């Protein structure tokens, strides 16, 4: 059976903040991966929260895997069927309206990143290599 640290890591507060950082799924994922070596009630609570509430499926699964490794029994998260962030179309429309009529999808992506990094980051994490083609498709429909 795998051995885990049972004390909180020295950098727990920083990792907790990182695990909840809304503007970077990569930062959240990295924190979850580091915390998965520490079987402690506070960390289990934090991992449950990421598993149940993270907008990016990769982070949810990493938290689920860590909890399963601790022997915790949870149902595996399923990928979102619809928008992972509520009101995505309204956000996209607001960004599109803030740009000149002849803007490109690249202009749209840059403006979205500046205006709503949390939304940009969540979908970029969720869609992976398909992100730009997915974004272009959504942009074209607005």
Could you tell me if 94 and 59 lie in one domain? no
Could you tell me if 61 and 109 lie in one domain? no
Query: What sign does the dihedral 98-84-72-33 (CA atoms) show?
Result: negative
Per-residue pLDDT reduced to its tens digit, 37-50? 999 999 999 999 99
pTM of the model: 0.85
Is the pLDDT reported for residue 105 higher than 70?
Answer: yes
Assign residue 96 a region (left: φ > 0; alpha: ψ between -120 and 50; beta: otherwise): alpha
Do 34 and 14 contact (CB within 8 A), yes or no?
Answer: no
Could you tell me if 100 and 129 lie in one domain? yes
Q: Which domain holds residue 53?
A: 12-69
Buried b (16+ CB within 10 A) or exposed e, 82-92: ebbeeebeebb
Could you tell me if 95 and 137 lie in one domain? yes
């Amino acid at each position: 059976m795998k051995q885990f640290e049972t004390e909180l890591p020295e950098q727990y507060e920083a990792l907790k903040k990182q695990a909840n950082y809304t503007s970077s799924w990569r930062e959240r994922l990295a924190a979850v991966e580091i915390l998965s070596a520490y079987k402690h009630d506070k960390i289990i609570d934090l991992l449950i929260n990421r598993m149940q509430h993270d907008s990016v499926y990769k982070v949810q699964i990493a938290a689920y895997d860590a909890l399963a490794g601790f022997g915790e029994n949870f149902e595996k998260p399923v990928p979102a069927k619809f928008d992972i962030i509520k009101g995505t179309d309204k956000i996209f429309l607001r960004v599109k309206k803030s740009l000149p009529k002849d803007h490109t999808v690249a202009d749209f992506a840059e403006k979205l990143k500046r205006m709503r990094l949390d939304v940009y980051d969540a979908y970029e994490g969720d869609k992976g290599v398909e992100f730009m083609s997915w974004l272009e498709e959504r942009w074209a429909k607005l």
